[in-house]
Amino acid sequence: MDIFRKTPMAQKTSHLQRHLGLAELIFLGVGSIVGTGIFTITGVGASQYAGPAITISIIIAAICVTMSALFFAEFSSRLPHSGGVYRYLYTVFGEYPAWIAGWFMMIEFAGAISTAASGWGEYLKAFLKTFGISLPTALSGPFNPAKGTYIDIVPVLLLLCVTALVVLGVQTVLRFNSVLVIFKLAVLIIFIALGLTAINTQNWSDFAPFGFGQIYGGKVGIMAGASLMFFAFLGFESISMAADETKEPQKKIPQGIFFSIGLTTLLYVLVTLVLTGTVHYTKLNTAEVVPFVLRSIGFPLVGNIVSVVVILTLVTVCISMMFALSRVIYNVSCDGLLPEQFQELTPKSKVPKKATIFVGIVTMFFSGVFPLEILALLVNIVTLAYLILLAFGVIKLRKDFGEPKEGEFRTPWVPFLPILSIVVCFALMTQCKLETWFGFIIAFVIGTIIYFAYGYRHSKLIDKTEE
């Protein structure tokens, strides 16, 4: 049994259309990253984990993400094929490690889509309540008969619309996504500008009330906040999923990744400084933290307008992530590790139709039935796990295939930087709660069962290894 059979380093043939440029990639990346994290998680991070020092937590998380982005950049430059970490590890480590990485990516993107949709639903319901409008109890929350809730219908309806939009075609959906991203950035700039007029430095007097925390196993403090805020950067890897549809992917993919991370890091730092500088951190534990702060500093009308814009623009996370996840499933299916039905493309726009519809159905179910907290539990830890595999992968890439050629991106300080990334990612993993680790182990076992029950026997490489 050869579970480490590998795909060749050579570029694979793609049946998708190459028409994306750098601007579309940046909008795709920013659309994926800037969402629930900045509009919701920042408040939770400040109030419960790090206080005003959540800004430091964000910088630590950004450093961790940037190191991983360097590895993505080298892989995407040397192997410019869609599939992300899954495709990269298939080349350097072999099939089973690649499948596990791909499985974790699927969980990450599905969880991120469902979480974003749930967060969008919370914003919409909170906004409607300001006008005295409430949904029936049975349709207003995840499955919990004790509370009388059976399904959260709002995120389900949102994802139904997003699925239909993504099936329409890449150019159509990314144009729409780009418009929404512009609105989202405009809202954040307005928030920062207004917030700067109401900064009270006394709110920063106890800048790190929970301390630095522990490097390993901490529950509160700056490091625990960094583990939480790592969630706010998830989505940058969606850019690498578009390699098959990008012009000059060797150059444009790395550029898109770095521009997206740089822009969002700057926004996150400014937003958190304004949040904690205008309102005391103990009051920021709210699902709609940005509109809450605007109302608190005397801009209620702007706060309501921002709520409307946030409701609209959080859709970009669902769009970008669904785009990326359907490409992951399509690529895994092309290798035989998932059913071949997921390879079906629409005749005109060449969109993986059944893969997209499958993603829509799964995420509709999870966002409608499971609480937001449970949806978010696994996202961070599975992402950190496959980023550790990616760091090991860069070391193996250099060992097996040598240095990058002229014109290809080169990660500096290999193997020191990958080893540092592994240490930092593992440190952030240990900040996760015990139930998160239980979920991680269960997810790993389920992924392994799927591989040996289906993937190994249907792999396109099985004939070659048996010859």
pLDDT at residue 467, rounded to an integer: 46
The SS3 call for residue 144 is: strand
| DSSP secondary structure letters along 221-277 | SHHHHHHHHHGGGTTGGGGGGGGGGBSSHHHHHHHHHHHHHHHHHHHHHHHHHHHHH
Dihedral of CA atoms 74, 77, 82, 84 in degrees, nearest 10, equals: 0
Q: Evaluate whether residue 17 is within a structural domain.
A: no
Q: Which long-range contacts (C-beta less than 8 Å, at least 24 apart) are formed by 383-386? A: 383/104, 383/108, 383/230, 383/234, 384/230, 384/425, 384/426, 384/428, 384/429, 385/104, 385/425, 385/429, 385/440, 386/85, 386/100, 386/101, 386/104, 386/105, 386/108
Overall number of domains in the chain = 1
Between CA 269 and CA 356 the distance in angstroms is 34
pLDDT in tens, 364-379: 998 888 776 666 667 8
Which domain, by its residues, includes 142?
22-458
Q: Evaluate whether residue 14 is within a structural domain.
A: no
28-43 exposure pattern, b = at least 16 Cβ within 10 A, e = fewer: bbbbbbbbbbbbbbbb
Q: Does the N-terminal peptide bond of residue 415 adopt cis geometry, omega within 30 degrees of 0?
A: yes
pLDDT at residue 36, rounded to an integer: 66
Give the chain's residues under pLDDT 70: 1, 10-19, 36, 80-83, 169-174, 241-244, 287, 372-377, 463-467
Nearest to 325 by CA among 299, 362, 290, 294: 362
Residue 19 carries which DSSP code?
-
Q: Evaluate whether residue 228 is within a structural domain.
A: yes
pLDDT at residue 463, rounded to an integer: 61
pLDDT at residue 419, rounded to an integer: 96
Give the sign of the dihedral formed by CA 385, CA 425, CA 380, CA 234.
Answer: negative
CATH number, domain of 309, equals 1.20.1740.10
Between CA 230 and CA 57 the distance in angstroms is 9
pLDDT at residue 278, rounded to an integer: 96
Q: Evaluate whether residue 263 is within a structural domain.
A: yes
Question: What does pTM read for this prediction?
Answer: 0.84
